[in-house]
């Protein structure tokens, strides 16, 4: 009986050992399977993670590039706007200077109906040169040809002593007399403004005479004649012999309308 008990104990011990071995085997197998699964997942997800990281890096680089491009564009736009504003300010300043010169010419120039009784010793003044510029119908703006003639006249003034400029504006006979008188004044003003602003001719040198349609230099029965009457005559007059000594003369202060 004791032998049977011992045999049973041995058998039990072997069974326990077998169970332990089996359990260990199961654990090893489970561990091995688990590691294999993790390695497999890692091998499959690693490229995806790498691609994701590369995409994130490229996205960040693209964003920086877009930001840099936008900053350069903004700086370029800002610089262009600054340049445009500067150019506009210069243009405005130039326009203001021209307006001031024109206003000065209009304000200081003598406006008279005639030189008689206005210029002292008028008989001592002789016409040195004269220019006539013409205008389109109902217009008072100078053409390029007109400006070229006035440029040549202004160039000659440097060599002319003690001169005055008699500027006479005229019109054709078409239209109201008062309107034509004002139009003849505007045409004379255009000449004065150009010579004063472009050639620094002192405004007090000018004597503006607006005659409207009162004095015609050609018949108004033809288009060619009317074109000649739409004019401004500029006479350069001097009371000095240009080669010798001046005659005794002076320009009186005219009691005329100043505008």
What pLDDT does 146 receive?
Answer: 95
What pLDDT does 116 receive?
Answer: 60
CA dist., res. 159 & res. 136, Å (int) = 32
What pLDDT does 171 receive?
Answer: 93
What pLDDT does 223 receive?
Answer: 93
Nearest Cα residue to 204 out of 236, 164, 169, 235: 164
CA 205 to chain centre: 35
Record the tokens describing residue 101, joined without a space: 């010169």
- Do 168 and 80 touch, CB atoms closer than 8 A? no
What pLDDT does 257 receive?
Answer: 36
Predicted confidence pLDDT, tens digits, the chain (259 residues)? 555 555 555 555 666 665 565 666 555 555 555 555 666 656 666 777 777 777 778 787 777 778 777 777 777 777 777 776 776 676 566 555 555 545 544 555 677 666 665 666 777 889 999 999 999 999 999 999 999 999 999 999 988 888 999 999 999 999 999 999 999 999 999 999 999 999 999 988 888 887 878 888 899 889 999 999 999 999 999 987 755 544 433 344 333 333 3
DSSP line for 54-87: HHHHHHHHHHHHHHHHHHHHHHHHHHHHHHHHHH
Nearest Cα residue to 108 out of 233, 234, 192, 210: 192
CA dist., res. 148 & res. 146, Å (int) = 5
- Do 114 and 248 touch, CB atoms closer than 8 A? no
What pLDDT does 251 receive?
Answer: 40
């Amino acid at each position: 009986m004791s032998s049977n008990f011992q045999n049973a104990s041995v058998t039990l011990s072997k069974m326990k050992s077998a169970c332990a071995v089996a359990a260990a085997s199961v654990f090893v197998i489970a561990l091995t399977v688990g590691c294999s699964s993790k390695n497999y997942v890692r091998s499959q997800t690693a490229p995806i993670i790498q691609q994701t990281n590369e995409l994130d890096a490229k996205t960040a680089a693209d964003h920086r590039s877009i930001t840099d491009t936008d900053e350069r564009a903004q700086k370029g736009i800002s610089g262009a706007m600054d340049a445009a504003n500067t150019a506009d300010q210069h243009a405005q300043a130039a326009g203001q200077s021209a307006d001031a010169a024109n206003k000065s010419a209009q304000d200081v120039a003598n406006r008279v109906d005639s030189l008689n009784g206005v210029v002292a010793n008028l008989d001592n003044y002789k016409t040195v040169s004269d220019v006539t510029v013409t205008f389109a119908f109902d217009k008072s703006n100078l053409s390029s040809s007109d400006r070229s003639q006035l440029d040549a006249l202004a160039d000659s003034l440097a060599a002319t002593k003690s001169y005055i400029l008699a500027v006479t504006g005229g019109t054709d006979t078409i239209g109201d007399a008062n309107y034509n008188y004002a139009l003849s004044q505007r045409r004379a003003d255009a000449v004065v403004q150009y010579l004063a602003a472009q050639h620094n001719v002192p405004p007090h040198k000018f004597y503006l005479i607006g005659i409207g349609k009162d004095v015609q230099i050609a018949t108004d029965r033809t288009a060619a004649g009317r074109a000649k009457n739409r004019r401004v005559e500029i006479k350069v007059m001097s009371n000095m012999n240009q080669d010798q000594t001046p005659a005794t003369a002076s320009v009186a202060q005219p009691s005329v309308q100043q505008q």
